[in-house]
């Protein structure tokens, strides 16, 4: 594929990422208004870089003409939550949506990766309305707590720096940090009800001040 072919190939994925970001940000606002608490803290999204698509295709032996079905995270959405319990709720909400089709999930929270990576991945099929008609694309929705995201972001940049051959000392520290992030999630879950009540009070107070 040359540059123009890639541009055309990636267009529906770019559209899918933009639309999904809007939809999940809207869901955050709606849940906040309805329930005074949202399981969504913030949402990000990206289209996978061409070099990263090619690396993954090579690693998984996916032929170029099967990229659409063979690489599931060309369109990627990341939703950050405060608590592990929020991830469970969100996963159910996503599975029941009618604007996307749930295909399957990868639970790296129950079964974390050897690296220490924890996150909940949902693969969906999302219909994009293009100038040529409807096109279904695959998208990966990653659900993470803030602690999981902190760890994964740091590990990702270290892997980028060391090109996946991390010095043992760094690997060791990352493994300890993964354990600490897990403990943090557990501690926060154990006082979740108190935290949520405090945040609701805080929201109400800010609301009154904003209206005065
Ligand atoms: P990019 O383009 O840099 O965002 P794999 O076979 O290891 O690639 P798997 O198990 O099939 O991965 O997972 P999946 O569902 O394809 O997701 C890959 C993405 O999950 C990665 O994208 C990361 O965002 C995240 N991820 C998976 N494993 C790890 C890990 O050990 N550490 C971190 N930090 N993130 C991970 P890419 O490949 O980074 O793509």
Fold of 3-211: Beta Polymerase; domain 2 (3.30.460)
In the prediction, which pLDDT does 204 show?
73
25-45 pLDDT per residue, tens: 999 999 999 988 899 999 999
76-132 pLDDT per residue, tens: 999 999 999 999 999 999 999 999 999 999 999 999 999 999 999 999 999 999 999
Residue nearest to atom 16 of ligand 1 (CA): 73
Residue nearest to atom 4 of ligand 1 (CA): 48
Residue 20 dihedral angles phi and psi, to the nearest 5°: -65, -35
3-state secondary structure of 72: coil
Where along the chain do its domains lie?
Answer: 3-211
What pTM was estimated for this model as a whole? 0.93
- Whether the complex's predicted ipTM is more than 0.95 is answered with no
CA distance 102 to 92: 10
Task: Please state the atom number of ligand 1 nearest to the C-alpha of residue 140.
Answer: 15
Of the candidates 19, 140, 169, 203, the residue annotated as catalytic is 140
Verify whether residue 155 is a known catalytic residue.
no
């Amino acid at each position: 594929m040359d540059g123009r072919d890639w541009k055309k190939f990636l267009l529906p994925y770019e559209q899918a990422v933009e639309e999904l970001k809007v939809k999940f940000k809207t869901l955050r606002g709606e849940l906040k208004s309805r329930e005074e608490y949202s399981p969504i803290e913030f949402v990000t999204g990206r289209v996978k870089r061409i070099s990263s698509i090619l690396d993954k295709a090579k690693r998984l032996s996916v032929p170029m003409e099967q990229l659409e079905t063979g690489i599931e995270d060309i369109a990627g959405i990341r939703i950050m939550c405060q608590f592990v319990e929020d991830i469970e709720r969100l996963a159910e909400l996503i599975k029941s949506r009618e604007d996307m089709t749930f295909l399957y999930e990868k639970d790296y929270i129950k079964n974390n990766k050897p690296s220490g990576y924890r996150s909940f991945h949902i693969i969906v099929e999302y219909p994009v309305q293009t100038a040529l008609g409807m096109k279904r694309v695959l998208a990966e929705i990653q659900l993470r707590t803030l602690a999981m995201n902190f760890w994964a972001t740091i590990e990702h940049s270290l892997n980028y720096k060391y090109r996946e051959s991390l010095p043992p000392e760094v690997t060791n520290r990352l493994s300890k940090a993964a354990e600490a992030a897990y403990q943090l999630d557990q501690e926060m879950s154990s006082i979740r009800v108190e935290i949520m009540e405090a945040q609701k009070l805080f929201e109400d107070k800010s609301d009154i001040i904003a209206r005065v």
